[in-house]
């Protein structure tokens, strides 16, 4: 049986596509990425590299040469023998700007070519989410009415209108539910448009769609009053489905009316924690910015910070916190930590706790190390805050908040709005024994909200650690400078969640195929 083709728009580094292409049933892969589209050059490079990885795997070609590229030992991922596959990956992963006339025209030609003759195909992806982000609207002052990113969903809609996918999966941030455009909730308009996309210019039948929830018995049907729906039913809370991250996203699954299939619900699983995802990773130290960077200097700064903070904590009667900090200081003196690297040599340890399924998905023994696991540099003043916040969180199982929580000498940042209340959570540890907070692209700017839970490492998360919390496999290499890598990881859909979505989607298509097969069974020499 031919695999079901996937068209992935606004693909980013390919998290949603990775889930669909990795899903297995009966020792086969039911889905195949036919076209993926991304405008950011670094995310596109990552996307193409992963497409090439899949082609090598599909053709049974050893990965040693590609992994040598990962490690920085080669300038190119391909060899003369695999150059054709690298070129093929370039025809799958397209570097296009949706909404640009010439790029749309090229994309439509590719889609037409790929879906020709197929029974079913699936559209996935989601328009850029910054315009709908609650945090972005509050902190950046984005104007709802004027931000052009509001209208990018129209490009997604146009593909539905033109090519009538069997099923589509559209993902966006939870802030989409509250966002208004021209005094109307934009989610209402989106539901109306997606359910009744309109007549195709290609003359195809004017199909409509039922929009399903993945987590509740709820759907939107053409003609319904969208304001009557409990739209929270369309929010997927990732931490309930085996993702070690409290990532809450709106996911709309549209099923074409002629398929008339019911969509299964995602199956809840045991919640996983930050430590479930990160415990087996090698410890690293942060770098030092604006001064000499060496292990010895770093140790001196961090141990002095721990000692000073511990004494102040003791003097204020916080004896448990003081004791913890002195213990952390001793550990820092004993350790000789590196800053990591593009590829850091190392072996996997035992699988932590309850995370067997997660680590089976993440691990690749052939790597013999860790990709994109390199720390950023921090100012000495921030290291003092990181040491404090991570220690406080370890003792209290919560983060200190605002001026009241940062009442030890030398902790308050030189920030004009520090006491305004808007930045009370500016410095935040990812608590070890809880799911992480949402991994966002803000990681590219600073790591203040993503402090590692181990105080002795005194740093923010690496790209690989963020990728693990997003459930990207360890052999998923992110291209570009580190800032761009953080953006890619933060904007992605968790691939392990996408695997589960793919299973739900396939159930609909399998149900339709089974129904059609029954309808043509011979009965007394005739066809039903």
Domain ranges of the chain: 4-272+493-519, 275-491
The two structure tokens encoding residue 183: 């005094």
Q: How far is it, in rounded angstroms, from Cα 116 to Cα 110?
A: 10
Contact 129, 176 (CB under 8 A): yes
Q: What is the pLDDT of residues 46-90, one digit of tens each?
A: 999 999 999 999 999 999 999 999 999 999 999 999 999 999 999
Using alpha carbons, list the distances in angstroms from residue 146 to 39, 113, 151, 162, 187.
21, 36, 10, 27, 17
Residue 526: which pLDDT band, with cuts at 50, 70 and 90? very low
Report the pLDDT value the prediction gives residue 528, as an integer from 0 to 100. Answer: 32
In this predicted structure, the answer to whether residue 511 has a pLDDT above a threshold of 90 is no
Higher-scoring residue by pLDDT: 303, 352:
303
In this predicted structure, the answer to whether residue 202 has a pLDDT above a threshold of 80 is no
Residue 122, exposed/middle/buried by CB under 10 A (0-12, 13-18, 19+)?
A: buried
The two structure tokens encoding residue 376: 């950023």
| Average of per-residue pLDDT across 165-176 | 94
Evaluated on CA atoms 14, 16, 17, 23, the torsion sign reads positive
In this predicted structure, the answer to whether residue 258 has a pLDDT above a threshold of 50 is yes
The two structure tokens encoding residue 269: 């699983």
Q: What is the pLDDT of residues 402-419, one digit of tens each?
A: 889 999 999 988 877 787
In this predicted structure, the answer to whether residue 138 has a pLDDT above a threshold of 60 is no
Q: Given the structure tokens 């439509």, which residue do they identify?
A: 108
In this predicted structure, the answer to whether residue 205 has a pLDDT above a threshold of 80 is no
The two structure tokens encoding residue 335: 């350790």
CB under 8 Å to 284, separation ≥6 — which residues?
337, 338, 339, 340, 373, 374, 375, 457, 459, 462
* Maximal C-alpha separation, the chain: 93
Residue 364: which pLDDT band, with cuts at 50, 70 and 90? very high
- Among the listed residues 302, 274, 242, 325, the one whose alpha carbon sits nearest the alpha carbon of residue 461: 274
| Average of per-residue pLDDT across 112-127 | 92
Report the pLDDT value the prediction gives residue 149, as an integer from 0 to 100. Answer: 53
**What CATH number does domain 4-272+493-519 carry, 3.10.20.600, 3.40.50.150, 1.25.40.10, 3.30.70.20?**
3.40.50.150
What predicted TM-score, i.e. pTM, was given to this entire model?
A: 0.93
Residue 146: which pLDDT band, with cuts at 50, 70 and 90? low
């Amino acid at each position: 049986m031919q695999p079901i083709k996937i068209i992935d728009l606004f693909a980013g580094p390919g998290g949603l596509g990775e889930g669909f292409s990795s899903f297995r049933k009966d020792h086969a892969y039911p889905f195949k990425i036919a076209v993926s589209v991304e405008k950011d050059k670094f995310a596109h490079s990552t996307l193409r590299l992963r497409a090439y990885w899949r082609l090598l795997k599909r053709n049974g070609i050893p990965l040693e040469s590609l992994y040598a590229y990962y490690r920085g030992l080669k300038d190119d991922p391909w060899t003369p023998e695999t150059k054709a596959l690298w070129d093929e990956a370039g025809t799958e992963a397209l570097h296009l700007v949706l909404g640009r006339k010439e790029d749309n025209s090229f994309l439509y030609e590719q889609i037409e070519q790929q879906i020709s003759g197929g029974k079913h195909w699936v559209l996935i992806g989601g328009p850029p989410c910054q315009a709908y982000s609650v945090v972005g609207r509050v902190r950046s002052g984005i104007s709802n009415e004027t931000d052009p990113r509001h209208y990018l969903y129209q490009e997604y809609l146009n593909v539905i209108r033109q090519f009538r996918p069997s099923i589509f999966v559209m993902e966006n941030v939870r802030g989409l539910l509250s966002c208004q455009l021209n005094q109307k909730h934009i989610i209402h308009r989106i539901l109306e448009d997606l359910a009744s996309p309109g007549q195709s210019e290609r003359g195809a039948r004017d199909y409509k769609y039922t929009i399903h929830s993945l987590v509740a018995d709820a759907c939107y049907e053409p003609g319904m009053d969208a304001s009557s729906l409990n739209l929270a039913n369309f929010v997927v809370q990732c931490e309930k489905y085996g993702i070690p991250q409290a990532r809450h996203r709106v996911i709309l699954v549209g099923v074409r009316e002629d398929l008339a299939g019911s969509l299964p619900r995602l199956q809840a699983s045991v919640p996983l924690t930050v430590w479930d995802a990160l415990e087996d990773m090698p410890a690293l130290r942060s770098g030092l910015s604006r001064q000499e960077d060496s292990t010895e200097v770093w140790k001196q700064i961090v141990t002095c910070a721990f000692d000073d903070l511990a004494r102040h904590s003791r003097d204020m009667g916080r004896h448990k916190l003081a004791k913890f900090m002195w213990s952390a200081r001793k550990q820092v003196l004993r350790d000789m930590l590196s800053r990591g690297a593009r590829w850091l040599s190392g072996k996997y340890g035992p699988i932590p706790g309850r995370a067997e399924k997660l680590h089976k998905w993440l691990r690749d023994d052939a790597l013999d190390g860790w990709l994109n696991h390199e720390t950023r540099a921090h100012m000495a003043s921030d290291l003092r805050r990181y040491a404090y916040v991570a220690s406080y969180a370890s003792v209290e199982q919560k983060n200190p908040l605002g001026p009241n929580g940062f009442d030890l000498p030398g902790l308050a940042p030189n920030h004009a709005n520090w006491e305004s209340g808007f930045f009370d959570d500016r410095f935040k540890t990812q608590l070890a024994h809880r799911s992480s907070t949402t991994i966002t692209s803000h990681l590219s700017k600073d790591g203040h909200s993503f402090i590692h839970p181990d105080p002795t490492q005194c740093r923010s998360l690496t790209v690989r650690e963020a990728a693990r919390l997003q459930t990207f496999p360890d052999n998923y290499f992110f291209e570009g400078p580190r800032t761009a890598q953080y953006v890619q990881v933060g904007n992605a859909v968790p691939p392990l969640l996408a695997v589960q979505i793919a299973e739900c989607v396939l159930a609909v298509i399998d149900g339709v195929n089974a129904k059609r097969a029954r309808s043509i069974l011979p009965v007394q020499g005739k066809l039903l």
